[in-house]
Structure 1
């Protein structure tokens, strides 16, 4: 049997729901297909549950610095199983909530794996679904590495349901997942090692900002090795041995848990893109500036299924909305990523928006670069901050903010002031002459520009 809709959406995460919402609000029929939990990664296996663990780590961090405020504390321990139970309360029932939202708005929800059988048709569980337009919003999945014994690694999904805290954890890969969970696990009482093949962890972020974070992360007891080659992962009874080359030395590391920190890639390979006349290169769907497949004008791609944009849930919602508008309304919107902020939720966090030094010079700017170590500033000392760093890039010709890179000092919140300035065209002078509530971290912004 064939079922037809105006819009067919593959995936019910942020991108898929945003695209479906556009179509529904414009009176179009919508069918969504989900192969896993309704609601997607962010709400169920990503941002939301992870932040519960980060919040616990932040509380432990505050307690650790209590002595600086003349507060005496006794022995403090984290009840890991209880924390995981609390974190799961943020997830339990969420798929049903998303499902109810879809059905209550009169949209159709299909569960199962979609496979293209034509340019505008997919098959799910033996049924055929066609549509005038299709949005691929299937999200991402953990990347894999060609390392012997890789099957022994676990993912961030597994960490979010980990009932017992391991003694020794090794992350292979030094990306966002590794750094964020390292800050949680080390404070919970585990020993943590990060192995990164590249010369730096978080290689896509401003190096000075990252160096500030790395120095502090090491001070917590996390071991970070870069430029390493992991050769194998072998099981040893209930534990594992990670064979790696660090410098010129082969080192064996023991671990109770080996975590895949190699990042994520688009989850599109199982769709049979070729059958849908969707051009792709090694799982990277090729799209034009309007998020439309270069080979199939019926198909749009949004969210983590799109390999060329930041893997952030707000970006997924943004792209999903644009894809929906372009597909349903015939709009010709192009995504603009220039003022989208991002944060890495270590404790404390780091955050960025706009260009770094290399990108700014490549774009033809000769930026004014203002770097500040804020740890001796009154605001930072008041809260005994161990990390407080800011780097701001300014165009000397226009005074416009080109980029901002912050560590600690409320970075994940203050970054939005820089984002707002960039989005609305406020200059460094505008920011410096504003009146702020004082004393606040935000009030320091006038001295950062």
Structure 2
């Protein structure tokens, strides 16, 4: 590792991979620092391993629907440990592949927790390195909620490592993570309850799509309880294994409705409350980087408003685009172009980026929802076409 580089990239996932490669192709010296395994959330702890489970859920869904197509098929059991082993085959070797791809192009790499020690300085493993440009692409981490006993709730990383399928599962949060995993577990035979503080799940999606997905969730036995506030998670004493009691409140929506305290027991409680930018350990203040908590203040070119040497891409950019792997790659390319192009900075436009919630059936979208189009004052027409048969 040198003492000085043209570009330092913090994070070796999709958002960091693009600007690192583009800068190197332009002849710049590049260092990529990663605090975990090279590859990032999508390849190791998100999209890829999750879709192995989703594929199993889709297969179970097809078996359950086989009778409609006059096929005699029955679901007997799912070998959960074997499914976890299959999932692992898709991620093992990925870190070495990602790092070898970087070093093979002449990019230096380092393992360790990075932090700013100046506007153009990074410290890692006790060494200080400087760079003309620094890219923050450190991704995101599960959002923590101020709930007593919340330490008992496992995150999405741990869900993907469950050695046995739980009989009873409670998700706190009806976002993308909660819904996708809920469908997998419910179709495999787990009793699933989702507790959501908002009055509806998946608030970012078109509400007609949400209604259809909620109906399908109820059909397969998922209980989505909206407008409720989770108050505590308590480990049950004297219970073998992992038994928990979740206390939540509902009601109180108006003055005539009393607030009720309710409880539900589960073998596993999971955090489905979303993710926040993983920037808390970077010492942003030492880098002269203005921020509001985990939200770094950026201009339209994904550049720090207070330190023009710093750019942000991917989930670490908590103030702009959605937390999606294609968005991370897209923003990484924009940052790469801005670093290489100098006086021709590019800005991000997220409207045409597609997204998908991988539940059977999947809920995909691109562009405006009907609600967003109406709020924007656009003239539009909504059409429905039922293709389920």
Q: Give the TM interval when normalised to the shorter protein.
A: over 0.9
Distance in 2 separating the partners of 1:209 and 1:66:
24
Q: How do residues 257-336 of structure 1 correspond to structure 2 at under 5 angstroms?
A: 257-307=268-318, 308-330=320-342, 331-336=344-349
Counterpart residue number, 2:351: 338
Contact 2:171/2:272 (<8 A) preserved: yes
Distance in 1 separating the partners of 2:351 and 2:176:
20
Distance in 1 separating the partners of 2:312 and 2:164:
39
Report the number of matched residues.
376
Counterpart residue number, 2:9: 9
Q: Does 1:196 align with 2:196?
A: yes
Counterpart residue number, 2:374: 361
Counterpart residue number, 1:408: none
Distance in 2 separating the partners of 1:239 and 1:160:
19
Contact 1:7/1:31 (<8 A) preserved: yes
Distance in 2 separating the partners of 1:157 and 1:273:
26
Q: How do residues 51-90 of structure 1 correspond to structure 2 at under 5 angstroms?
A: 51-90=51-90
Counterpart residue number, 1:394: none
Aligned-pair distance for 1:332?
1.1
- Any idea what SS the aligned residue of 1:369 has? coil
Counterpart residue number, 2:159: 159
- Any idea what SS the aligned residue of 1:354 has? coil
Q: How do residues 379-398 of structure 1 correspond to structure 2 at under 5 angstroms?
A: 380-381=388-389
Aligned-residue CA RMSD (Å): 1.2
Structure of higher RCO (CA pairs closer than 8 Å, 6+ residues apart)? 2
Q: How do residues 93-242 of structure 1 correspond to structure 2 at under 5 angstroms?
A: 93-236=93-236, 237=239, 238-242=242-246
- Any idea what SS the aligned residue of 1:5 has? strand
Contact 2:21/2:102 (<8 A) preserved: no
Q: Does 1:370 align with 2:374?
A: no
Aligned-pair distance for 1:121?
0.5
Contact 1:2/1:127 (<8 A) preserved: no
Aligned-pair distance for 1:2?
6.5
Distance in 2 separating the partners of 1:148 and 1:86:
36
Aligned-pair distance for 1:361?
2.6
TM-score (normalizing by structure 1) = 0.82
Unaligned 5+ runs, structure 1: 382-449
Q: Evaluate the alpha carbon distance shift between residue 75 and residue 174 of structure 1 in structure 2; reply closer, same or farther with a 3 A threshold.
A: closer
Distance in 1 separating the partners of 2:72 and 2:375:
52
Contact 2:116/2:286 (<8 A) preserved: yes
TM-score (normalizing by structure 2) = 0.95
Counterpart residue number, 1:256: 267
Unaligned 5+ runs, structure 2: 252-258
Distance in 2 separating the partners of 1:111 and 1:285:
24
Distance in 1 separating the partners of 2:96 and 2:289:
32
